[in-house]
Amino acid sequence: MARRNTRREKLITLALHVGLFAGLFFAAFPIYWMLASSFKTNGEIFALPPTILPKIFTFEAYAAILTDPVKLRFFFNSYLVAAVVTILTVFIALLAAYGFSRFTFRGKAALSTLIISTQTLPPITLLIPFFGLVVSYGLFDTYAALVLTYLVFTLPYAILLMTGYLNTLPRDLDEAVAVDGGSSWTALWRVIVPISVPGIVATSVYTFLLCWNEFLFALTLTKSTDMRTVPIGIQLLMGQHAFEWNQMMAMSVLGSLPLLVIYLIAQRYFLAGMAAGSVK
């Protein structure tokens, strides 16, 4: 456009950049503050005036957490539960997605609507019967209670994500296996799975994160410190009488690390997962 160099255009560009940096402050300052506080001494956290950079830069809070066996156990539990749920979810979802993507059958539309709608089930509504079930089957305060209940919110997304991915793969591939006399089961494992690795990775990443972040079920269905996960560990830190703010921040940073690492490495997969429930 010929108007590009006018004063007005320059003003618009300037305003845009001001807006962008205001947005950056809004988005990133709270996170920066958490990070900076995790390297401060507890006394400096609420110093007046606030210190933008830690005056005394210390790993004290991280050391306190990483040498405390109780807190390390929270991390172990979180990784374990998330890993087991991810494996189960991806396996079950892959089979279901294969069924949805490659077959026509009676009740298909109804089943897929059922699965989409289970995404919106309120966790608090399920929590009460889960509590009843977990208590009556003696699963209270066990890993099994968490693994089983986490499947409820991971599976619908995983099925949608995987079905979406399988639908992008050409059907000639598995039809070639059928022509050669192979079963659909053979086609799935010999042909579909090897080329679905990106879809499987995206689904795994998203499932892992959903589990890692879960709070309500872990709060209610476990009780002993041995069984608690990272989000509950952070809550327990908050419940103490003397607030160790720097430790709370360090624990939050450590608890966000898996997400940040996966996000920075696999941004594309991550956003695919995020949009799965919405753009479908």
Partner 1 sequence: MTARGPKANYKLGRKVAPYFYLSPSLLVVGLLMLLPMGMVITYSFQESAVLRPDTSFAGFKHYRAIFGDEVFWASLWHTLYFTIASVVAHMTIGLAFALMLNSDRISPMLRSVLRVLYILPWLFTQVIIAVIWRLLLDPNGVVNSILIDLGIIGSKVEWFSSVETALHAVTFANIWAGYPLFMVSLLAGLQGIPKDLYEAADIDGATGPQKLFFITIPQLMPIIVSISLLDFIWTMQVFPLIWLTTGGGPIYATEVLSTYTYKLAFSQYNLAQAAASAVTILLISIGLTLFYIRHQKAR
| # binding residues, partner 1 (CB under 8 A) | 94
Residue choice 84, 126, 201, 266 for contact with partner 1 (CB under 8 A): 126
With CB under 8 A as the contact rule, the residue among 50, 137, 223, 265 that binds partner 1 is 50
27 binds partner 1 (CB under 8 A): yes
CB of 273 to partner 1, least distance (A): 11
Q: Which of 125, 170, 241, 268 binds partner 1 (CB under 8 A)?
A: 125
Is 221 among the residues that bind partner 1 (CB under 8 A)?
no
Task: Provide the CA 7 distance to its chain's centre, in angstroms.
Answer: 46
Residue 12 makes contact with partner 1 by CB under 8 A: yes
Residue pair 159/93 in contact by the 8 Å Cβ criterion:
yes
Among 61, 160, 165, 255, binds partner 1 (CB under 8 A): 255
| 117 token code pair | 């709608």
Paired tokens of 222: 């476990």
Rg of the chain (C-alpha set): 24
Reference 74, options 225, 253, 242; nearest CA is 225
Kindly state whether residue 152 participates in binding partner 1, applying the rule CB under 8 A.
yes
Q: Which pair of structure tokens corresponds to residue 160?
A: 């949608």
- With CA atoms as reference, report the closest residue to 89 among 137, 191, 160: 160
Integer Cα distance of 258 and 260 in angstroms: 6
With binding defined as CB under 8 A, does residue 266 bind partner 1? Answer: no
User: Site residues for partner 1, window 51-90 (CB under 8 A)?
Assistant: none
User: Is 24 near partner 1 (CB under 8 A)?
Assistant: yes
Residue 257 near partner 1 by CB under 8 A: no
